[in-house]
Amino acid sequence: MTKKPIEDSEAFLQLIREWQQLEDKTIESADGLIKSSKNPLVKMTMEMIRHDSEKHKIMQQMLIDSLTKEAIHLSPDDLAPLSDMLNRHLEAEAKSLALADAALEKSELFITRYILSYLIADETKHHSLIGKLNELKRAAVFVT
């Protein structure tokens, strides 16, 4: 008898649903801080956190839907047309990271460094996500 993958279990789905509820609380908290603060740096930070939490909820729902409605499909045909665009995007992200790193190196003010550090982390995440899509493209070729 083969063991059922954890992702198919109700316990896994419950964890994701609880996580979504925490994202709702984060969004609510961020909204409160945005409304109560007059400081543009605090407002911007909380808006970014709010936006990320909204994206997290969408991704979490995709996980839930992929297990309860329809599984996510990916074939070489889905990614092949994107190959050139993915490569160009990787190049652009790499260039963005280089510029951001150079700007950080030249900055001395705490707030400037704070914002640049956030941007660098976000650009690094984007670069990684595009790289993962490229890996999926290569893996999909071998699966079929």
Structural domain spans, the chain: 1-72, 75-144
Q: What share of the chain is helix, strand, coil (3-state, %, to 5)?
A: 85, 0, 15
| Strand ranges inside 7-89, DSSP E | none
CB 52 within 8 A of CB 22: no
**Is it the case that residue 127 has pLDDT exceeding 60?**
yes
Q: Yes or no: say if 104 and 116 are a contact pair by the CB < 8 Å rule.
A: yes
pTM: 0.80
pLDDT value at residue 142: 53
The predicted structure's pLDDT at residue 72: 85
Residue 4 confidence (pLDDT) above 70? no
Q: Is the pLDDT of residue 7 over 80?
A: no
Q: What is the rounded CA–CA span in Å between residue 118 and residue 144?
A: 39
pLDDT averaged over every residue in the chain: 89
